[in-house]
Amino acid sequence: MLKSLEIQGFKSFPERTELIFHEGITAIVGPNGAGKSNITDAIRWALGEQSAKSLRGSRMEDVIFSGTAQRRAVSFTEVTLKLDNSSKILPIDYETVSITRRYYRSGESEYLINKTPCRLRDINELLMDTGIGLDGYSIIGQGKVDEILSNRSEDRRAVFEEASGIVQFRTRKEEALRKLRRSEQNLVRIDDLLAELNNRAVPLAKQADDARSHVELATRFKQIDAALTLRQIASLELQQAKRADDLELTKLDLEEARVEQDEARMSHASAVELVDSLESRIDREQVRFNELSVIETEKTGLEALFREKLAASKKNSESLMEERNRLTMQVMAFEHELTGRASRRENLLERKQQATRELNAAEEELAAVEDKLNEIQLHAAQALEKRDKLSERAFSLFATYRERTGEKQALASRRDHVRQDLHVLDDDLAKTAESVDQLRLEAEAQNEVISRSEVEAAVAKESVQKLHERTDTIDESLGETISEIQRLRYESETFERLEASFEGYQRPVQLLMQELKRSQGGMHEGIYGPVGSLLSVPEDLTRAIEVALGASTHHVVCDTSDTAKELIALLRRTRAGRVTFLPVESIESRAIDRAILEKASRAAGWIGLASDLVTCDPVIEPALMFTLGRTLIVETLDDAVQLSEAIHRSYTIVSRGGDVVHRGGSMTGGWSSNRTVGVLGRPARIREIGERIKALEKRKVEMEAQLGEAIEALKLAAAEEESLLEKLADARRQLLRLSAEISAQEQTYERLVKTNGELKTEVAAIDGRLEELVEEMKRLEEERTAVLSEREEAALFVIQFETENSERAVERDVCRDRLTRLKVSIDSIDESIADFDSLTSRTGSE
């Protein structure tokens, strides 16, 4: 049914190896160490073996090829069984069924049926009642036949049940019984839980009522809280709306304030303009006042002139009155002097003619005076116009001068303010530079702190890492030590079990000794045991003594021949086989000739007589001499050959490595793959293992103490590293803060430097403008002085022309008065002539 077996990475099969099982193959045979057991172990492992001990290992990882000096270890193992299912023995619809198990060093395991992942249970159910299972009869390893034949009837029954095909049903029955037991246990548990729940029902009901009340109250609280929140939200919304309205009103007030501010600014500007205009008007009025002062002076002169003219007019009136009186007297004289009227008339005519001539001359003089007056008025108007223009120019220059003076004062005030700002700015620059320098010193100090902290943190990290490595190393060594202790304990227990069960001895010897233990409850006092179990052999000579003893190792030592006969009868009754007994009472000790022994002791490579190299109970010393009294032990085969020739091949000689030169010259030797401890080495191995375990236990305690100290040191170092890292983080945060402050201070410094430059530029511009203003004001003052001087000259010309005009006007008036007098005189003369003529006529008529 088994067609082939594929093995990869399993024990001694590192490469993928396929074994084909043709029809008729029923067993695997071969020399020791050929790998027979590894093949059967691979089959058992693929079928689901879970015990590493059953596979002759301590851990499941031991089945993976662990490497050699020439080949490195592999990381996983895989075994595949290919079964012929053409007869449909297996309940699966495939002609060939492959069962695969894969295992990794990480502990992961996989099972596959026809390359499909499955469970181990699926494989067990598939192979149930086929005899192929893990515990089936199809695979029989070393000692399995004797074990099957010698086991109890219950154990043999399992084999027959497997062969008869009822294991599946028995397994199902056991599974059902297990489920039933679990169900019963669950029912009991449920009853316990019900009882417990019934006991807890009342308090739980109270708790449930409390919980419901809590839920209701919580719901009510949430509703109230939601309502309160909504009310608060509504109130806040109202407040927000009110505040929004207030904000709008405030904005309107702000706009009105801004408008009023603008109006105030405009009013201020208007007021400034008004003040400027008033100042200009004051200046104009001052000029006008000066002009009026001049006019007042001129008026005073004119008033004096008019008073003179009035006095002249009064005098003229008085003169006219006198003339009238004189004429009246003349008329009266004319009336009285009628006789002289003709001559008088002639006189009047002459006077008229004279007056007419004077009138004509006066008219001509008046015309000349009026022409001169018109010319004087024209020049006076021109001089007045020039004076007014010069006044306006002077006023304009004065206004410009005042503007430049105001600008100069404003610029001087601005320059003072700017210089104050520069002074404050210089202080700020000095403080900022000092602050930047201080911050940079702090940053450098912080950098040094960071550098030191980084070094300290690196040292602490390295220390922690080293402590981690040391802890891991100690922990790994401790684990290895614990594993080694467990392995040695298992090995010791194994050797002790083997020693107690007489494993390694011939089967009849094992059965005899086991039967004696079962039947008599222990070893009979006349039976000492197999020779191999009674000798204490040095470890380095174990191989040589084993070879020297040969089959004698399995001989049983007893006290007398009667005991030997009883034991032989027991073997016959139990059909256990044949055993050689050594009754110490009757056997003869075989000793070597002393001369030969002395000769051999001088030979090269001599170690000693075999019986002298081992120790035993003195009671069984005859048996020791019987088995080893005539065997010599030397170092090498060459030494054995030389010694055998020297003693004429009369004794058996064994080398330390186990090569033998027999009595008579025959030789036995070669390579043996059996490196396991034999029956002779078990006691020494058990003692060695015990001493090794004690040493490892002591080392374990020391390593646990070292591990504890390393862990404490690691905790302290980790705490110190964490503290240093926190300190480093704080230092870096401080450095970032200082860097930000330095950047801000540098920006402030740059801004202050820029402002300083702008202010200095402004001061320079102001100084330049002030110099320009000084020059311009000087020019304006000079020009205004020149204009005022020219204006004074023009005013003097105006006054001069007005004086001359007044004089000419007086002269004109005098001329006009004279002309009027002359006309009046002529008219009077004409009236006198007319009156004279009329009087003459009346007189003549009378």
pLDDT digits (tens, 9 = 90+) for 90-145: 878 888 888 999 988 888 889 999 888 898 888 887 777 666 655 555 555 555 55
Indicate if the pLDDT at residue 528 is higher than 90.
no
Over residues 598-645, the pLDDT tens digits come to: 888 888 899 999 888 888 888 888 888 888 888 899 999 898 898 888
d(CA 29, CA 37): 10
Q: In this predicted structure, what is the pLDDT of residue 78?
A: 92
Residue 822: closest CA among 111, 319, 368, 445: 319
Contact criterion met (CB below 8 Å) for 532 and 549: yes
Contact criterion met (CB below 8 Å) for 655 and 634: yes
Q: Could you give the angle at the alpha carbon of 99 between the alpha carbons of 96 and 104, nearest 5°?
A: 150
Contact criterion met (CB below 8 Å) for 534 and 557: yes
Residue 587 CA, distance from chain mean position? 92
Beta strand pairing call for 109-113 and 116-118: antiparallel
d(CA 429, CA 421): 12
d(CA 378, CA 839): 53
d(CA 258, CA 250): 12
Which pLDDT band holds residue 583 (cuts at 50, 70, 90)? very high
d(CA 617, CA 535): 8
Over residues 292-310, the pLDDT tens digits come to: 565 556 556 555 554 565 5
Indicate if the pLDDT at residue 529 is higher than 50.
yes
d(CA 633, CA 532): 18
Over residues 351-360, the pLDDT tens digits come to: 767 777 777 7
Question: Exposed, middle or buried by CB within 10 Å (0-12, 13-18, 19+), for 521?
Answer: exposed
One-letter amino acid of 440: R
Indicate if the pLDDT at residue 18 is higher than 60.
yes
What average pLDDT does the segment 730-735 reach?
Answer: 83
What average pLDDT does the segment 489-513 reach?
Answer: 76
Segment holding 608, helix H or strand E? strand 606-609
Alpha-carbon dihedral sign for residues 615, 621, 627, 628: positive
Segment holding 288, helix H or strand E? helix 167-336
One-letter amino acid of 734: Q
How confident is the prediction for the chain on average, in pLDDT?
77
Q: Could you give the angle at the alpha carbon of 626 between the alpha carbons of 625 and 627, nearest 5°?
A: 95
What average pLDDT does the segment 460-469 reach?
Answer: 83
> Of all residues in the chain, what percent carry a pLDDT higher than 90?
2
Indicate if the pLDDT at residue 420 is higher than 80.
yes
Indicate if the pLDDT at residue 723 is higher than 70.
yes
Determine how many CB atoms are found less than 10 A away from the CB of residue 162: 22
Token output for 234: 């509504």
d(CA 769, CA 776): 10
Token output for 21: 């099982």
Residue 614: closest CA among 687, 540, 552, 527: 540
Q: In this predicted structure, what is the pLDDT of residue 130?
A: 66
Query: Treating both helix axes as pointing N-terminal to C-terminal, what angle do 153-164 and 167-336 enclose, rounded to 10 degrees?
Result: 70
Q: Could you give the angle at the alpha carbon of 689 between the alpha carbons of 687 and 694, nearest 5°?
A: 95
Q: In this predicted structure, what is the pLDDT of residue 571?
A: 85
Q: Could you give the angle at the alpha carbon of 62 between the alpha carbons of 58 and 63, nearest 5°?
A: 125
Contact criterion met (CB below 8 Å) for 407 and 400: no
What average pLDDT does the segment 239-251 reach?
Answer: 69
Over residues 209-225, the pLDDT tens digits come to: 777 777 778 777 777 77
Which pLDDT band holds residue 334 (cuts at 50, 70, 90)? very low
Task: Select from 3.30.200.20, 1.10.10.10, 3.40.50.300, 3.40.50.1440 the CATH code of 2-164.
Answer: 3.40.50.300
Question: Exposed, middle or buried by CB within 10 Å (0-12, 13-18, 19+), for 528?
Answer: buried
What is the residue-wise DSSP string for 787-837?
Answer: HHHHHHHHHHHHHHHHHHHHHHHHHHHHHHHHHHHHHHHHHHHHHHHHHHH
Indicate if the pLDDT at residue 33 is higher than 70.
yes
Q: In this predicted structure, what is the pLDDT of residue 79?
A: 92
Residue 12: closest CA among 61, 56, 82, 65: 65
Residue 100: closest CA among 87, 91, 110: 110
Residue 574: closest CA among 631, 528, 511: 511
Indicate if the pLDDT at residue 748 is higher than 90.
no
Beta strand pairing call for 116-118 and 631-634: unpaired
Contact criterion met (CB below 8 Å) for 414 and 758: no
Contact criterion met (CB below 8 Å) for 777 and 404: yes
Q: In this predicted structure, what is the pLDDT of residue 136?
A: 54
Alpha carbon separation from 164 to 136, 144, 205, 760 (Å, rounded): 11, 20, 60, 119
d(CA 488, CA 685): 10
Q: In this predicted structure, what is the pLDDT of residue 301?
A: 57
- Least confident range from 25-34, 400-409, 671-680: namely 671-680
Q: What SS3 string covers 454-466?
A: HHHHHHHHHHHHH
Where is pLDDT greater, at 55 or 264?
Answer: 55
Determine how many CB atoms are found less than 10 A away from the CB of residue 363: 16
Q: How many CA atoms lie within 13 A of 807 on its CB side?
A: 7
Over residues 144-155, the pLDDT tens digits come to: 555 555 555 555
Where residue 745 falls (left for φ over 0; alpha for ψ -120 to 50; beta otherwise) is alpha
Q: How many CA atoms lie within 13 A of 619 on its CB side?
A: 12
What average pLDDT does the segment 642-661 reach?
Answer: 88
Q: In this predicted structure, what is the pLDDT of residue 39?
A: 84
Phi, psi of 173 (to 5 degrees): -65, -45
Residue 662: closest CA among 652, 647, 649: 652
Question: Exposed, middle or buried by CB within 10 Å (0-12, 13-18, 19+), for 727?
Answer: middle
Over residues 436-446, the pLDDT tens digits come to: 888 888 888 88
Q: Distance between terminal CA atoms of the chain? A: 216
What is the per-residue burial (b if ≥16 Cβ within 10 Å, else e) of 229-253? eeeeeeeeeeeeeeeeeeeeeeeee
